[in-house]
Amino acid sequence: MKKIYIKTWGCQMNEYDSSMITTILQKTKKYSLTESAEKSDILILNTCSIREKAQEKVFHQLGRWKKIKNNNPSVIIAVGGCVATQEGKEIFKRANYVDIIFGTQTLHKLPQMISEVETSRKLSIDISFPKLEKFKYSLESKKKGYTANISIMEGCNKYCSFCIVPYTRGREISRPCDDILFEISILAKQGVREINLLGQNVNAYKGSTFNRKICYFSELIRLVAEIDGIDRIRFTTSNPREFTDDIIDVYKDTPKLVSFLHLPVQSGSNKILNLMKRSYTIEDYKSIVNKLIIARPNIQISSDFIVGFPGESEIDFQQTMLFIKNINFDMSFSFIYSKRPGTPASKMKDDVDLEEKKKRLYILQDRINIQTMLWSRKMFGTIQSILVEGVSDKNIMELYGRTENNRIVTFKGSPNTIGQFVNVKIKKVHTHSLKGELLQK
């Protein structure tokens, strides 16, 4: 059997895709996974194009792999994911030792593409968008562990001015509802207890059912909650524009849905949101949060922020800081704005000085960290339901798991509890992690 090595960058969707690549190749019984690039026959790079200089990061990695190929010319190098979809044959022009370029929707064609390269030793490229073909292979995947990411839809129709996703993942397309439920049922039988529903714009889900009706996102969550063995549900990532009242209602009647929500806002300034083409206002966002708090009083919110977007003045930034304080966000993913090739924002004048961007990012992240710690301190002395995921990497005498609000908790306990939900009393608090004491039933 030939050895395959997969390096994955980017979001949970990319992680999900890489798990499908592994399943697809192993199913042929020709390949097995290795953790050593140097010992691999096939090197696969699954890329992400969200951050600045994503292409250069790819070529730096390929340069390192070129040395492996120089020592063993029979090694096959494949590049996939968002950068591959975005750049296409340009990758081969800069790195002519690459053998395969595949897209976000064509990873299921890898066995055929590998065979073509082995026969012809010529570049094989397919970055087309054949819709949902790849997902039939997800139903055959086997999961190790007790949590699982499930992709329910791909793509985005929003075309925010800064975002490359619609160009690399395509337009929104939802998987059939029954396929998703079947996949989750299989995972539940394998021991999975927590599901994270994935999509670039997950709350826009509109999947077909067996009787040709439409299943909306709110209904899908309730159906997942009915599956035996699944006791906790998360989803990521959402767009405020489509966070409708029917989704908020799920928080009222579906306790398996966690009291934690990641809802990207990007800026606290309506002027900047308009330039970003986000199609909602700060007032809209506040309304959603207020409704959520009524539906689930203990809910915590995290978000995304872009700092230094073209046209962002000091006043705009201060509006963002005030907004962060008013909403009292628990956590955030925050970044300095960077141009993505081909997006409308890349044509705007990038008029915020880099040092000013760094300064603003530091101020924002410092404020978020303070709020994160304050939220963590509120958990001191509370009893938390923890899904025990395994033995702690830092101390083999301890176990670890996650709270609903995504804190890792370490505690002493029996390995027999791994894969189960247990009650843990929080005894020590750090910003992003906690220590606890297992309560006996």
The model's pLDDT over 104-124, given as tens digits with 9 standing for 90+, comes to 889 999 999 999 999 998 999
Q: Which value, to the nearest 10 degrees, does the dihedral of the CA atoms of residues 394, 397, 401, 405 take?
A: -60
| 218 shares its domain with 275 | yes
User: What value does the mean pLDDT take over residues 422-440?
Assistant: 93
Q: Measured in whole angstroms, how far is the alpha carbon of residue 93 from the centre of its chain?
A: 30
- Return the DSSP state at 109: G
Share of the chain above pLDDT 70, in %: 98
Cα–Cα distances in Å, from 289 out to 63, 200, 260, 304, 330?
47, 20, 12, 15, 13
| 403 shares its domain with 349 | no
The answer to whether 163 is annotated as binding is: yes
- From the list 87, 43, 45, 47, the residue with the least C-alpha distance to 67 is 43
Query: What contacts 188, CB < 8 A, 6 or more positions away?
Result: 227, 228, 229, 230
Query: Using one digit for the tens of pLDDT, what is the confidence trace for 332-362?
Result: 999 999 888 889 999 999 999 999 999 999 9
Q: Which helix (H) or strand (E) holds 144?
A: none
Q: For 388-417, give the DSSP string.
A: EEEE-SS-TT-EEEE-TTS-EEEE---GGG
Q: Which helix (H) or strand (E) holds 425?
A: strand 421-429
Q: Is 13 exposed, middle or buried (0-12, 13-18, 19+ CB in 10 A)?
A: buried
- For the four alpha carbons of 237, 239, 240 and 246, in that order, the dihedral sign comes to negative
| 205 shares its domain with 331 | yes
Cα–Cα distances in Å, from 98 out to 69, 88, 95, 113, 213?
10, 12, 6, 13, 44
The confidence score (pLDDT) of residue 141 equals: 56
| 141 shares its domain with 271 | yes
- Return the DSSP state at 439: P
Specify which residues 235 forms β-bridges with: 197
Cα radius of gyration (the chain) = 23
Q: Do 46 and 7 touch, CB atoms closer than 8 A? A: yes
Roughly what angle, to the nearest 10 degrees, separates helices 177-189 and 217-225? 30
Domain that holds residue 254: 133-376
The confidence score (pLDDT) of residue 110 equals: 94
The confidence score (pLDDT) of residue 143 equals: 66
Mean residue pLDDT across the chain:
93
Q: Is 186 exposed, middle or buried (0-12, 13-18, 19+ CB in 10 A)?
A: middle
Domain boundary among 354, 376, 398: 376
Which of 166-170, 283-287, 300-304 shows the lowest mean pLDDT across its residues?
A: 166-170
User: What value does the mean pLDDT take over residues 187-211?
Assistant: 94
The confidence score (pLDDT) of residue 340 equals: 86
| 182 shares its domain with 295 | yes
Q: How confident is the model at residue 136 (pLDDT cuts 50, 70, 90)?
A: confident
Domain boundary among 126, 153, 181: 126
Q: How confident is the model at residue 80 (pLDDT cuts 50, 70, 90)?
A: very high
Domain boundary among 126, 142, 160: 126
Query: What contacts 228, CB < 8 A, 6 or more positions away?
Result: 188
Query: Using one digit for the tens of pLDDT, what is the confidence trace for 365-401?
Result: 999 999 999 999 999 999 999 999 999 988 899 999 9
Q: How confident is the model at residue 137 (pLDDT cuts 50, 70, 90)?
A: low
The confidence score (pLDDT) of residue 131 equals: 73
User: Residue 411: how many CB atoms within 10 A of its CB?
Assistant: 23
Q: Which residue has the higher pLDDT, 143 or 405?
A: 405
The confidence score (pLDDT) of residue 135 equals: 75
The confidence score (pLDDT) of residue 134 equals: 74
Which of 134-148, 216-230, 281-295 shows the lowest mean pLDDT across its residues?
A: 134-148
The answer to whether 156 is annotated as binding is: yes
Is residue 144 pLDDT above 80, yes or no? no
- Return the DSSP state at 257: B
Which of 92-101, 160-169, 421-430 shows the lowest mean pLDDT across its residues?
A: 160-169
Roughly what angle, to the nearest 10 degrees, separates helices 245-253 and 217-225? 20
Q: Tokens for 231?
A: 């006791």
Helix (H, G, I), strand (E, B) or coil at 122: coil
Whole-angstrom distance, CA of residue 213 vs CA of residue 386: 37
| 299 shares its domain with 408 | no
| 152 shares its domain with 102 | no
Structural domains counted in the chain: 3
The confidence score (pLDDT) of residue 139 equals: 58
The answer to whether 177 is annotated as binding is: no
The confidence score (pLDDT) of residue 86 equals: 87
| 31 shares its domain with 43 | yes
The confidence score (pLDDT) of residue 39 equals: 92
CATH of residue 352's domain is 3.80.30.20
Whole-angstrom distance, CA of residue 385 vs CA of residue 395: 21
| 296 shares its domain with 411 | no
Whole-angstrom distance, CA of residue 63 vs CA of residue 45: 12
Whole-angstrom distance, CA of residue 355 vs CA of residue 364: 14
Q: How confident is the model at residue 19 (pLDDT cuts 50, 70, 90)?
A: confident
CATH of residue 82's domain is 3.40.50.12160
User: Residue 248: how many CB atoms within 10 A of its CB?
Assistant: 16
Whole-angstrom distance, CA of residue 236 vs CA of residue 67: 38
Whole-angstrom distance, CA of residue 399 vs CA of residue 388: 7
| 86 shares its domain with 148 | no
The predicted model scores a pTM of 0.87
The confidence score (pLDDT) of residue 12 equals: 83
CATH of residue 405's domain is 2.40.50.140
| 275 shares its domain with 399 | no
| 266 shares its domain with 358 | yes
